[in-house]
Amino acid sequence: MEKQIDLAALPTPVNILWENILMIPLFGMLDSKRSQEVLETMLQKVIDTGAKVIVLDILGVLTVDSAVANHLIKITRATQLMGCQCIVSGISPEVAQTMVNLGIDLEKVQTTSTLRNALEISFEMLGLEIRKFK
């Protein structure tokens, strides 16, 4: 008998991408309960690690409507108050279209389509550069 995995019951994974850069991948639905849990986890991690940047990857979030957008805005504002910049990555063309067509405004939240772009921006924010050694 197959066991249904309840994504909402799984704890929010927090990845350390680099010193001071955390990454949190979100999957499935981002409802109020989940959003609150993500927020609490993030703020705790900021305190624990002193992270300066958190990348919130929403590639796995299926629906991005105004409710989800508001959760994202709230999360980014809260982490900013704690001295941590939040970048939302994983905005696909379809999500970008939906958001603009629905008139959803993410205000000042920085967004990217790929995790790589978000990482580049994070490095820039921290004054880091990548150099190839011979």
Q: Which residues contact another protein by CB under 8 A? A: 89, 91-93, 95-97, 99-101, 106, 111-114, 116-118, 120, 123-124, 128-132, 134
Copy the structure tokens of residue 81.
């108050």
For residue 54, the SS3 value is: strand
Tokens 């639905």 belong to residue: 29
Question: What is the smallest separation between the CB atom of 92 and another protein, expressed in angstroms?
Answer: 7
Pairwise CA distance, residues 97 & 81, whole Å: 30
Question: What is the smallest separation between the CB atom of 69 and another protein, expressed in angstroms?
Answer: 10
Question: What is the smallest separation between the CB atom of 18 and another protein, expressed in angstroms?
Answer: 14
| Nearer residue to another protein within complex by CB, 51 or 95 | 95
Tokens 């067509």 belong to residue: 101
| Nearer residue to another protein within complex by CB, 23 or 46 | 23
Q: How far is CA 100 from the centre of its chain?
A: 19
Pairwise CA distance, residues 93 & 17, whole Å: 25
Q: Is 51 left (phi over 0), alpha (psi -120 to 50) or beta?
A: beta
Question: What is the smallest separation between the CB atom of 127 and another protein, expressed in angstroms?
Answer: 9
| Nearer residue to another protein within complex by CB, 49 or 113 | 113
| Nearer residue to another protein within complex by CB, 55 or 84 | 55
